[in-house]
Amino acid sequence: MEIFKNIRLNIGRSTLRKRVAATGRKFNYSSFNHARKIVIIWDATNTEEFSYLSKFHQKMLERKVSVEILGYYEGKNLPDQLTAVRYLSLIRRKELNFFYIPVSPEAIDFVKRDFDILIDINFRKIFPLTYISFLSRSGIKVGLFDSKPGDTPFDLMIELKGQVSVENFLIQSVQYLEMINNEKLITTN
């Protein structure tokens, strides 16, 4: 059964590579002060992490930056704390096609939208979330350091020493994004 799952995942990855090659995304970032829309891609396996995301959302609202979260939740029943939150959309297993590609309207919408910043909190590299991160048209994409940078969609990778936590990763992401100040906007292919 595991072999069959791996074959399906490999076909999904192949489809992703073809779609990434066909997109013409451009890096587009000048400074954190100019950011108005952030999307967070979140592995919702550990629902207790949502409290950190909620605090981050509130902090960004104070800075007049909107934050939307797209997560993947494998469980059958959503926990109460994840329902009726306007800035949170969750993809469920039933919203994936045979090759684990997200097909929900929310996922398709997120891929098409222009966000200033994408912050990827998909530390376990769950394929449906990786798929969305790769295809997103966000100006800059931030994620956890990977020794194989060609295998990630990230423009900025952050390496954390010790235990990796959502709270620390969000703090570090903002800290590094604030350091980048390129008022003369550079865009590259």
Question: In this predicted model, what pLDDT tens digit does every residue of 77-130 receive, in sequence order?
Answer: 888 888 889 999 999 999 999 999 999 998 999 999 999 999 999 999 999 999
| Kind plus residue range of the DSSP H or E element containing 2 | helix 2-22
Half-sphere exposure of 57 (CA within 13 A, CB side): 16
Question: In this predicted model, what pLDDT tens digit does every residue of 138-166 receive, in sequence order?
Answer: 999 999 998 877 788 999 999 988 888 99
Provide the terminal-to-terminal Cα distance of the chain, rounded to the nearest Å: 41
Domains of the chain listed by start with CATH number: 2-188 (3.40.50)
